[in-house]
Chain A
Amino acid sequence: MGQTILEVSHLGKKFGDNVVLRDINISVCSGDVTSIIGSSGSGKSTLLRCVNLLETPTSGQILYYERDIMDKGFDVPAYRAKVGMVFQSFNLFSNMSVLENCVVGQVKVLKRHRKEAVEKARFYLEKVGMGAFINAKPRQISGGQKQRVAIARALAMEPEVLLFDEPTSALDPQMVGEVLGVMRTLAGEGMTMIVVTHEMAFARDVSSHVVFMKDGVICEEGTPEQIFGSPEKQETRDFLSRFFDR
């Protein structure tokens, strides 16, 4: 196990009176692939969005290398550049070409020279198999291709952690395969990832740690073998049986 990168402790999130997350504790070490599973509305995505501060947690702490990311002086943009995010709806910049999508963040946020940024962008686009499409606009490519570009965009920032928010939920089965293939490769290369997913096979085969959430709390967590092989809680068994008894 590597160094601890992220430490979520006693995290809570309320939208008005609606409690979405309660007392969440997770720690992520370098090289971990943490899958967060659970039914829709269990707070998985909100948790991930809290980690990237797209939502502001209402209680608890998130430590990034032992620094509280909610501190006043904390440099949030720099942190976000280090903690990449891939969305369910891709969120590619529709006014830019595929290449430009992967270049803009490097130039504007990391202040890389354009030439270097273009080289890196091409390298990562090649890696996700989108090297040929650098001149395309997002509207001209398919969903699976968009998601692969979105992954390349996140990779081009050379982040320490990648967050995936249901990256395959908007895709058809073939495209799901394309995207999961890329994610498997990344996991194999030791990329630290937190993946919110409904792809149970991926969670079982690829992750090093599985978190099952229900009603805004962590119901059960453990290794894939524990969660998928011999879950302790009845809720976990019920949830998983719906996936594997089909």
Chain B
Amino acid sequence: MSLPDNFFGRIIFLLERYGGSLLRGAGSTILIAIVSTAIGCLIGFIVGVIQTIPVRQSDNIFKKIILKIINFILYIYVEVFRGTPMMVQAMFIYYGSATVFNIHMGKWFAAFFIVSINTGAYMAETVRGGILSIDPGQTEGAMAIGMNHFQTMTSVILPQALRNIMPQIGNNLIINIKDTCVLSAISIVELFFATKSVAGTYYTYFEANSIAMAMYLIMTVFFSRLLRWMEGKMDGSDSFDMATTDTLAHTSGMLSYRGKKKNNGRLR
């Protein structure tokens, strides 16, 4: 079968022949992006929380030294992984671990590992910012009823910080969807790798990459909408039910307070 001589014909030709492999590539892209963003967020939360542990003068010297050392290591981690290209990191870790330490990690493990710790480095700063953005009064309110640092963080500060950094988590997810393409450097078959193979077979670089462009765009737009929707869910309803202890009042229905209109992530 020969190649059609118009653009759209060639697109359809490629889709018919290689649609499956492109979709599988896109599937890998999404899988790596979502899993790594999730793990990266977890790393970011842990690092961000450790970095914001308050140190008081009255704390014992042992705790202070331990925290200093941990914070220094975390600082190095954030700076190194934020400050070097992910493609170089991929090569460095995947080939480096094999040559120097004789550790042969699977390339899929390497893929998740690299994207996760990379995202973690960015998220650490984001989480730190998210925590700092919460009114200190929230911490004081929690401390004043006797909560310790850990309880204050998990019950009060992090839920609010998480809401505030959702747009940034969305950013990271979208960046990861696009940037997994650098993993083709360690021959992970994701969307970009699949596209290159398809393009190379028939010398249809423009057509194949048009398809890839469209597929990347569909994925990123879909996930950005999904995250907006999740933000709305986290904000909860704008109205609330009045509770009543008067059982007779139930028959006449619940009063409902109508707050401001839904605002789709814009300022209130």
Q: Which residues of A contact B (CB under 8 A)?
A: 52, 54, 56, 77-81, 84-85, 87, 89-97, 104-105, 108-110, 126, 131-137, 140, 150, 153-154, 157
Contact A87 B140 (CB under 8 A): yes
Closest B residue to A134 by CB, please name it.
Answer: B243
- Among A105, A131, A137, point to the contact of B245 (Cβ < 8 A): A131
A31 → chain B, closest Cβ, in Å? 22
Complex A-B: 7 CB contacts under 8 Å: A78-B146, A89-B137, A91-B140, A93-B138, A140-B240, A150-B141, A157-B146
Q: Which residues of B contact A (CB under 8 A)?
A: 56-58, 135, 137-138, 140-148, 151, 155-156, 159-160, 163, 236, 240-245, 257, 259
Closest A residue to B239 by CB, please name it.
Answer: A140
Task: Give the A-B pair count, Cβ closer than 8 A.
Answer: 87
Task: Report A-chain residues with C-beta under 8 Å of the C-beta of B138.
Answer: 91, 93-94
Q: A84-B144, A91-B140, A136-B257 are in contact. Are A109 and B242 (CB under 8 A)?
A: no
Contact B151 A92 (CB under 8 A): no
Task: Report B-chain residues with C-beta under 8 Å of the C-beta of A89.
Answer: 137
B234 → chain A, closest Cβ, in Å? 9
Contact A109 B145 (CB under 8 A): yes
Task: Report A-chain residues with C-beta under 8 Å of the C-beta of B257.
Answer: 136, 140
* Complex alpha-carbon distance, A136 and B254, angstroms: 14
- Among B135, B143, B244, point to the contact of A54 (Cβ < 8 A): B143
Contact A109 B140 (CB under 8 A): no
Task: Report A-chain residues with C-beta under 8 Å of the C-beta of B144.
Answer: 52, 54, 80, 84-85, 87, 91, 154
Contact B145 A87 (CB under 8 A): no
Inter-chain pairs besides A77-B146, A77-B148, 5 sampled, C-beta below 8 Å: A92-B141, A93-B142, A93-B155, A104-B155, A126-B245
- Among A87, A95, A109, point to the contact of B137 (Cβ < 8 A): A87
Task: Report A-chain residues with C-beta under 8 Å of the C-beta of B241.
Answer: 135
Contact A132 B244 (CB under 8 A): yes
Task: Report B-chain residues with C-beta under 8 Å of the C-beta of A153.
Answer: 145
Contact B240 A84 (CB under 8 A): no
Closest B residue to A79 by CB, please name it.
Answer: B146
Contact B240 A91 (CB under 8 A): no
Contact B243 A157 (CB under 8 A): no
- Among B135, B159, B259, point to the contact of A140 (Cβ < 8 A): B259
Contact B147 A56 (CB under 8 A): no
* Complex alpha-carbon distance, A157 and B137, angstroms: 19
- Among A81, A131, A140, point to the contact of B145 (Cβ < 8 A): A81
A148 → chain B, closest Cβ, in Å? 15
Closest A residue to B160 by CB, please name it.
Answer: A95
Residue among B135, B138, B155 with max Cβ neighbours from chain A (10 Å): B155
A167 → chain B, closest Cβ, in Å? 13
